[in-house]
Amino acid sequence: MRWALRLGNLYGIAIRLHVTFLLLLAFLFLMATLAGGWRSGLRSLLLLVLVFVCVLLHELAHSYVSVRYGLRVRSITLLPIGGLALLEDLPREPRQEIHIALAGPAANFVLALWLGVLLSLVEPARAFLPVLSGEALLASLFWSNLSIGLFNLLPAYPLDGGRVLRAWLSGRMDYVEATRRAVGVGQFFALLFVLGGLLLRETWPVVIGLVVFWAALTEEKVAVLQSAMERIYLEEVMLTEFQSLAPGDSLFDAVERALHSLQDDFPVVSEGRVVGVLTRGGLLRAFSGQGWNQSVQAVMSSRFETAQRGDTLAAGFNKLTARGLSLLPVLENERLVGIVTLQNLLQSITFLSRKGAAEIESLRRE
């Protein structure tokens, strides 16, 4: 995600902080300071940071269950409106999606239970008084976790409750149609938030409603695109006219072929088998070192993935992006029959995003 700062890795998951979150911290600190002095500002700042630690735990709970089901989680990004876990694979079994969706609110309810017990022992007078203030950290954290858990259970897609609804619907109809119906319910709730905020003259319900509405539309487009990518196979988009190199070729040979074919990356083939990949970056690094006389074998990368021509576009894209590759040799019976590059896959995805799954399916039948 753009404008996100990487904080580090946790169990192989990149943790990022969106810059707008820092702006929110600065704004709330300023408002609290103007209202009650710098001590009040610091307490409000501490409360917000602790609340977003709880949001991070919410997203980690989603991620933990996802990993248990064999799904890879690429990153978690903290935003002013909450957290966003980015999965490389999407759960398609309704049971899996329900368990993953419910894990987040469950984490908040466990935190609320623990904080509630602690609060009843330390400050029993405040245990059941709703509050959100830096002056009452423990009580505020209790009510924040309870609110986050309950709010996320609303069947307003893409909230967790909406994902449970989508999973339930997908067991009874097509996945894309289930997503569309869940999106419709989510947009209904979003409009209720906006109207309620306008009637009550409160800003946050309006902001939340607009964000949920926009996020629902975005998720629908992603679901349609994902469905289309899983209906298209690499043999339909792979490049069949391409240049390859042999391990004994020189870098001068590689440059000549690059100039004549406008091809940036090359599969390296020996005795009919792919043994490596020479990328444009590797070629440039080699020139800055020992120059033209090196062999391809000396500078090629043996860190590469291959795909079968019957693999889906989604599977090929995941292989390229998961390891930061730019070329994917396509095989049939261990024989190289084509290549796909990140650039030509992105072009295919752009085309699919404009056409949609249904139109692509009709074009393939013609």
Q: How confident is the model over 133-181, as pLDDT tens digits? A: 777 788 889 999 999 999 999 998 888 999 999 999 988 888 888 888 9
Q: Assess whether 188 and 279 both reside in one domain.
A: no
Say if residue 330's pLDDT is above 90: yes
* Paired tokens of 79: 């935003």
Distance CA 307, CA 233 (A): 11
* Domain endpoint, select from 152, 184, 206: 152
Q: Assess whether 39 and 135 both reside in one domain.
A: yes
The total domain count for the chain is 3
pLDDT band at 290 (very low <50, low <70, confident <90, very high): low
Write down the residue that tokens 């999106």 correspond to.
183
pLDDT computed for residue 10 by the predictor:
79
3-17 in b/e form (b: 16+ CB < 10 A) is ebeeeeeeeebbbbb
Say if residue 189's pLDDT is above 90: yes
Q: Share the mean pLDDT of the chain.
A: 83
* Residue type at position 303: R
Mean pLDDT, range 2-30, rounded to an integer = 78
Q: Assess whether 86 and 120 both reside in one domain.
A: yes
How does strand 13-18 pair with strand 273-278?
A: unpaired
Residues paired with residue 10 on neighbouring β-strands, in sequence order: 13
How does strand 82-87 pair with strand 13-18?
A: unpaired
pLDDT computed for residue 79 by the predictor:
73
CB atoms within 10 A of CB 324: 8
Q: Assess whether 88 and 33 both reside in one domain.
A: yes
Question: Which is higher by pLDDT, 72 or 112?
Answer: 112
How does strand 266-270 pair with strand 82-87?
A: unpaired
User: What is the helix (H) or strand (E) element at residue 315, kind and residue range?
Assistant: helix 313-322
Report helix, strand and coil shares of the chain as percent, to nearest 5. 60, 15, 25
Q: Nearest-CA neighbor of 135 among 47, 30, 33?
A: 47
pLDDT, tens digit, for every residue of 205-231?
888 888 888 888 887 877 777 777 878
Distance CA 111, CA 270 (A): 58
The CATH code of the domain that includes 344 is 3.10.580.10
% of the chain beyond a pLDDT of 90:
22
What's the first-to-final CA gap in the chain, in angstroms?
A: 38
pLDDT computed for residue 16 by the predictor:
85
pLDDT, tens digit, for every residue of 232-256?
888 888 888 888 889 888 888 888 8
pLDDT computed for residue 355 by the predictor:
59
The dihedrals phi and psi of 135, each to the nearest 5 degrees, come to -80, -15
Distance CA 74, CA 37 (A): 41
Question: Which is higher by pLDDT, 323 or 236?
Answer: 236
Question: Which is higher by pLDDT, 191 or 1?
Answer: 191
Say if residue 361's pLDDT is above 80: no
Return the half-sphere exposure (C-beta side, CA atoms, 13 A cut-off) of residue 101.
28
Q: Nearest-CA neighbor of 168 among 153, 152, 179, 183?
A: 179
* Domain endpoint, select from 128, 152, 176: 152
Q: Assess whether 245 and 215 both reside in one domain.
A: no
Mean pLDDT, range 103-119, rounded to an integer = 93
pLDDT computed for residue 240 by the predictor:
87
CA dihedral 101, 158, 322, 242 (to 10 degrees): 140
Distance CA 77, CA 75 (A): 7
pLDDT, tens digit, for every residue of 296-307?
888 888 888 899
219-237 in b/e form (b: 16+ CB < 10 A) is bbeebbbbbbbbbbbbbeb
Q: Assess whether 184 and 292 both reside in one domain.
A: no
* Residue type at position 281: G
pLDDT, tens digit, for every residue of 34-67?
877 878 888 888 888 898 889 889 989 999 999 8
The dihedrals phi and psi of 296, each to the nearest 5 degrees, come to -60, -40
Q: Assess whether 337 and 225 both reside in one domain.
A: no
Using N-to-C axis directions, what is the helix angle for 94-122 and 160-170, rounded to 10°?
A: 150
pLDDT, tens digit, for every residue of 256-265?
887 777 788 8
* Residue type at position 58: H
Say if residue 338's pLDDT is above 80: yes
* Domain endpoint, select from 196, 211, 229: 229
Say if residue 363's pLDDT is above 50: no
Q: Nearest-CA neighbor of 353 among 177, 235, 222?
A: 222
Say if residue 82's pLDDT is above 90: no
Q: Assess whether 192 and 319 both reside in one domain.
A: no
Q: Assess whether 147 and 7 both reside in one domain.
A: yes
For residue 199, the enclosing domain spans 154-229
Q: Assess whether 265 and 343 both reside in one domain.
A: yes
Q: Assess whether 262 and 193 both reside in one domain.
A: no
The dihedrals phi and psi of 161, each to the nearest 5 degrees, come to -60, -35
Q: Assess whether 245 and 326 both reside in one domain.
A: yes
